[in-house]
Structure 1
Amino acid sequence: MISQLTSLSPTSILLLPLLYIFYLFLFNYILDPLRSVPGPYLARFTRWWYFCKLYEGDFERTNVELHKEYGAVVRIAPGEYSLDDVEGARIVYGLGKGFSKAPWYSAWMPPDPSKASLFSDQNAHRHSMQRRKFSSFYSMSALITYEPFVNNCSALFTSRLHSLALTSQVIDLQHWLQCYAFDVIGEITFGSRFGFLDLGEDKEGVFKAIDDRGSYSTFVGVFPWIHQYLYSRLPMTGGHGYVYGYTLRQIENRQKELKNPESKNREGPPDIMTKILLAHEADPEKMTKMDLITMCQSNIGAGSDTTAITLSAILYNLLKHPRTWEKLRTEIDDAEKEGQISDPVTFKEAQSLPYLQAVIKEALRIHSATGLTMPRIVPAEGTTLAGHFFPGGSTIGINAWVAHRNPSIFGADAEEWRPERWLEFEEQGRGAEVEKYSLGFGMGSRTCIGKNISLLEIGKLIPQLVRRFDFQLVGCGDGEELRSLNRWFVKQQGFRGRVFLRGGKR
């Protein structure tokens, strides 16, 4: 055998690996029980097709087009499929169904599983235990205690916009909304702002650091086995180092305060860090120091981007469709005249404004903060979804952008911005049914734990902006859509405009 190999020409020897790979792909294709599932040709053989499409930065729209072309199930990589099916969603993301998070999520955490966040943890049992530790800090009843934090930042933000309105300068609206969201989550988490609203500047590069880490995890997650080799080389300086150091300093300072009898009666409601810290001191084994650090950092990393994206989606679409802006303003003005809302609006009052709630739901639908499938591993026994049997070990997921454009659920005009659809759903008695396929905050046991806090921030800020200011879009003319970059989070790019005092000259 060795003599036969040595007699081959160099060209033949080089071709042997290629022939091996070719026959391996062919063999896998022939044996693939799901070879009938359609999708891009290259996606049958290599994950590089998926990687390249992610790199283009608009996979949320690519994914929508794939389902328009191929139907309810689309292959996006070998053994990985994108689904658009209401009943399938209840199976894949339903409680106790046995679908664990796919290896893609491992790139969003350190290789040490004990340091996994609620978002990235692939162990369903451990995730359930961890979520129970923190759920009370994010419950609807806990929101009341966080309202003063939001009021502080809303007042400062409107003050900054008032100053900017006097200059008529063009500003990056998405950036300012992220400054707001970042400072709010800083107050709720630590009891103090980061200070981004002071000048609208990110001197430490925190926003970029979070964006860069999201890009890393999005791409490396496609080939998760390389994460263990790359993670140790990731920089812990710059913006990420700043957030980590800031977190540790806040924890250390609060620990000192709690040991000081004079500071135990500090004014104001307790922030999330204090609540977790007290739980840690009461039972260090149940609530560990790592739990405290991980949860605080998760609040900052995820809580700022998702809220800023949704706020930007609301403001942009209201301005792009002036009729809906005026309709919302009329609802807020009428409620104010009738004494139904305060200044600032409380969260409870915001929930009583039907058109405001419809606007928020429509923004979460038309521009979901996340724009990739939420991949899950099919349990060993396999399952049938949308008429296909998926064997155990297959990867299946639903992209919120795809689900939210399903015309059988959201209507023939599902591609359009129309908040009224949510009022119609309620009139038709379909509200609860439609909500089950609303994936803006995830679904099932993995629904975002910070959902209520995000809705608190959004529900309180938007009425304040609408009742006090006018805005003018810059660079988004008729028919021109706002660009976004999809790195898991679908973040708006170039959302620029001018702000004016309400009724002021333009």
Structure 2
Amino acid sequence: MDQLQKPGSGKELIAFASIVPARVIFSVYRFYSSPLRNILGSLLARVINLWYFCKVYEGHLEKENIELHQKYGKIVRIAPNEFSIDDPDAIKVIYGHGTGFPKAGWYYGWTDPMQKNETLFTTRSIFHHTIQRRKYATSHSMSTLVGYEGFVDECGRILSRRFEELSGANLVINSGEWMQYYAFDIIGAITFSKRFGFLNNGEDIGGLIQANDNRRMCATLAGIYPSLHPLLFRVVSYLPSSGAAGFQYLFKFANERIGERKLWLGTEADDGPMDQVGRFLTAHMKRPDYFTTQDVLMGSLANILAGSDTTAISLSAILHYLCTHPEKMQKLRDKIDSIAKRGQVSDPVTLKETQTMTYLQAVIKESLRLHPATGLRLARKVPKGGATISGEFFPEGATVGINTWVAHYNRDIFGPDAHLFRPKRWIGADEKALSVMEQYNFPFGLGSCGCISKNISLLEIGKVIPQLVRRFDFELEEPGRELHCVNHWFVKQTDLRCRLPMRRQSTKVQGYRGTGAIPRHHATMP
């Protein structure tokens, strides 16, 4: 890390400055010679990536992307050879099995160009992605979730206990931060059999969250200029707070955790449910040539990098919409209380029980529709021979994709009230309308490259929301104020501030007494 902070020779900056004019000239030529020059968008976006870069940097592109489609239609230009699509029929063309659309160069920005390490998220080879996904499939399957439920229960109890303490002190909290502490501790438990300790401390331990945020912003912007990524990576790595520094910090962190896990793998201390690294290491010992040490590292790192953010954002979205729609909050409570009176709800609630709670599932689905975690396109490269999308022929090499936010706010699909929080739209709708909505609702991505951790995230969400709703009244510090979010790939809430008065009929949380001794597989990181 010290080496990263040494001043550079300046050669990288000179090289960067000499490349920019040449790229502008090339972009102007490419636009006027392109058969797609009729596709509208920002005037600047026709000839240079700078418009897109600036909008991504500002951190609110999800809203502007929606507005562009409302103004120009199904296809809009966001960069010289890059296009945003809003059409359900485009899903099969772009993301369907066997269509041959690889991930675009933007994903290269999420790699360390010096190390050439790749995760399922960053790899752009369709063949390599298929092989790698197969390696991790078992550890993320629905059948494996049963073994993870105990990890989630423990973190849920600690979160509830901490909320009781904060409630008693009548403090205003940033509940979005606490949702991330909860999600990060679960990721630690599920991945390494040890919580990170965020819930115990109530703060960002070791700057891990900040490092992740820095890295995400850096990677998101670097991906806009993939050919310049190695050069840009070296330039920004000289900054102490850069995303490159955060990236290397996370690599070191994951390696240390894996080393600790190896020490007691297969020993008497290795009791309880098998965590993900345990599964990875076991697979490596059986077939080291197939499941390599690199696979162990990248599988673990992928959990840390994305696992907490997506779940925390989704949980914050659910709480935000329930707080801003108190009648929906009360309806959800009434539904859960009614089931509880019949003796059909455990404490903590089980995954199986949550799956039968129709209104809870509708609230989750509607919240994730209105605020999906990702806020940029799921960008893909048009393969050899080109492709016709939404009535327009795109030649080989063009970058196309659907932004989840754009799709989820499509009024033709979700109705003129697509911008409103209405969980009931998922209950009682006719079969055809429901099928169309389901097809165009994809908060966890599309196709074979969809989020492999979807089931784990839904496990965490489905179990904790009923517990919190049953025990606490969430009161916004400033009702009516718009929630501030920053979109650097993930649309992360920054100020979901509220108080937590306890409900009179709530049940005291059992099984957690501060930060004392707890089972080995739920211990905190040292």
Q: Does 1:205 align with 2:207?
A: yes
Give the whole-Å Cα distance in 1 for the aligned partners of 2:88 and 2:495: 34
Counterpart of 1:364, as a letter, is L
Check 1:74–1:163 CA distance in 2 against 1; reply closer, same or farther (3 A cut): same
Q: Residue 331 of structure 2 aligns with which residue?
A: 327
Q: Deviation digits for residues 411-460 of structure 1, max 9, x if unmatched?
A: 110011111111133x4354343222112100000010000000000000
**Alpha-carbon distance in structure 1 between the residues aligned to 2:62 and 2:147:** 36
Q: Distance in 1 between matches of 2:244 and 2:273?
A: 32
Counterpart of 2:491?
Answer: 490
Q: Return the letter of the residue paired with 2:484.
A: R
Quote the residue 2:254 is aligned against: 247
What does residue 521 of structure 2 align with? none
SS at match of 2:230: helix
User: Which residue of 1 is the match for residue 293 of structure 2?
Assistant: 289
> Measured at CA, do residues 228 and 114 of structure 1 come closer, stay the same or move farther in structure 2, by a change above 3 Å?
closer
Q: Please report how far the alpha carbon of residue 114 of structure 1 lies from its aligned counterpart in structure 2 after TM superposition.
A: 5.6
Aligned-pair CA distance for 1:111: 2.2
Question: Within 5 Å, which residues of 2 pair with 1:363-378?
Answer: 363-378=367-382
- State the secondary structure of the residue aligned to 2:265: helix
Deviation (angstroms), 1:256? 2.5
Match of 1:407 among 404, 411, 414: 411
Alignment of 1:451 with 2:454, yes or no, is yes
Residue-by-residue CA offset, 1:372-397 (whole Å, 9 max, x unaligned): 01110011111111111111111001
1:500 counterpart residue number: 501
> Which is further off, 376-385 or 249-258?
249-258
Letter of the structure 1 residue corresponding to residue 490 of structure 2: F
1:431 counterpart = 2:446? no
Partner of 1:4 in structure 2? none
Query: SS in structure 2 opposite 1:458?
Result: helix
1:419 to 416, 420, 423: 423
Equivalent-residue separation in structure 1 for 2:123 and 2:290 (angstroms): 18
Deviates more, 1:225-234 or 1:398-407: 225-234
How far did residue 242 of structure 1 move? 5.5
How does the TM-score come out when normalised to structure 1?
Answer: 0.91
Query: Residue in 2 aligned with 1:380?
Result: 384
Q: Distance in 2 between matches of 1:259 and 1:176?
A: 34
Map of 1:14 onto structure 2: none
Residue identity opposite 2:441 in structure 1: S
Cα distance change on mapping 1:22 and 1:294 into 2, 3 Å: closer
Query: Which of 463, 466, 471 is residue 466 of structure 2 equivalent to?
Result: 463
- In structure 1, what is the equivalent of residue 132 of structure 2? 130
Corresponding residue SS for 2:205: coil
Among residues 438, 443, 456, which one is paired with 1:440 in the alignment?
Answer: 443
What is the DSSP-based 3-state SS (H/G/I as helix, E as strand, rest coil) of the residue aligned with 1:490? strand
* Secondary structure, counterpart of 1:118 in structure 2: coil
Aligned pair partner of 1:146 in 148, 166, 172: 148
Deviation at 1:255, TM superposition (A): 2.1
Other-structure match for 1:91: 93
User: Counterparts in 2 of 1:197-276, with a 5 A limit?
Assistant: 197-232=199-234, 234=237, 243-258=250-265, 260=267, 262-263=268-269, 266-276=270-280
Instruction: Quote the Cα distance in structure 1 between the aligned partners of 2:21 and 2:95.
Output: 40
Q: Aligned letter for 2:155? A: C
| 8 Å CA contact retained: 2:370, 2:408 | yes
The CA deviation at 1:245 is 3.7
With 334-343 and 483-492 compared, the bigger mean Cα shift is at 334-343
Q: Is the 8 Å Cα contact of residues 205 and 239 (structure 1) preserved in structure 2?
A: no
Task: Select the structure of larger CA radius of gyration.
Answer: 1
1:187·1:271 contact (CA, 8 Å) conserved in 2? yes
How many Å apart are 1:203 and its aligned residue?
3.4
- The residue aligned with 1:7 is none
1:151-166 aligned within 5 A: 151-166=153-168
Q: Give the conservation status (yes or no) of the 8 Å contact 1:113–1:121.
A: no
Secondary structure in 2 aligned to 1:342?
coil
Sequence identity percentage: 46
Deviations 1:109-153 (A, max 9, x none): 122686210001001100100000010110111101100000000
The equivalent position to 2:193 in structure 1, one of 191, 194, 197, is 191
Letter paired with 1:299: N
Give distance in 2, aligned partners of 1:372 and 1:237.
21
Residue 316 (1) aligns with residue 320 (2): yes
Letter in structure 2 aligned against 1:295:
G
Where 1:149 maps in the other structure, the secondary structure is helix
- Specify which of 334, 340, 344 is matched with residue 340 of structure 1: 344
C-alpha distance in 2 between matches for 1:314 and 1:249: 34
Question: Paired residue for 2:122?
Answer: 120
**How far did residue 363 of structure 1 move?**
1.1
Instruction: Determine the C-alpha separation between the residues in 1 that align with 2:110 and 2:23.
Output: 31
Residue deviations 1:258-294, cap 9 Å, x none? 364x44xx32100000001000011111000011011
1:101 partner SS: coil
- Residue 22 of structure 1: how far off its partner (Å): 8.4
CA distance in structure 2 between the aligned counterparts of 1:443 and 1:343, rounded to whole angstroms: 34
SS of structure 2 residue aligned to 1:349: helix
User: What corresponds to 1:9 in structure 2?
Assistant: none
Deviation at 1:304, TM superposition (A): 0.2
Query: 2:229 and 2:47 mapped to 1: Cα distance?
Result: 22
Letter matched to residue 344 of structure 2: Q
Alpha-carbon distance between aligned partners in 1 of 2:21 and 2:488, rounded to the nearest angstrom: 35
Q: Aligned residue for 1:393? A: 397
In structure 1, the gaps of 5 or more residues are 1-16
Q: Offset of 1:21 from its aligned partner? A: 8.4
Aligned partners of 2:102, 2:20: CA distance in 1, in Å? 35
CA distance in 2, matches of 1:49, 1:484: 20
2:218 counterpart SS class? helix
Query: Quick one: distance in 1 between partners of 2:411 and 2:487?
Result: 23
Give the unaligned 5+ runs of structure 2: 1-18, 506-526
Task: Answer yes or no: is the 8 Å Cα contact 1:205–1:238 preserved in 2.
Answer: no
Q: Deviations over 1:133-182 (max 9, x none)?
A: 01011011110110000000000000000010001111111001100000
Compared with structure 1, are the counterparts of its residues 116 and 23 closer, same or farther at alpha carbon in structure 2 (3 Å cutoff)?
closer
- Mapped contact 2:214–2:246 kept (Cα < 8 A): no
Which sits farther off after the overlay, 483-492 or 198-207? 198-207
The total of aligned residue pairs comes to 483
| TM-score (ref. length: structure 2) | 0.88
Secondary structure at 2:264 match in 1 = helix
Distance, in Å, in 2 between the alignment partners of 1:240 and 1:474 is: 35
Change (3 A) 1:242 1:392: closer
CA contact (8 A) 1:206 1:238 kept: no
Q: Is the 8 A contact 1:66 1:74 kept in 2?
A: yes
* Aligned counterpart, 1:34: 36
Q: What's the CA shift string for 1:33-62, capped at 9, x where partnerless?
A: 011111111110100010111111100000
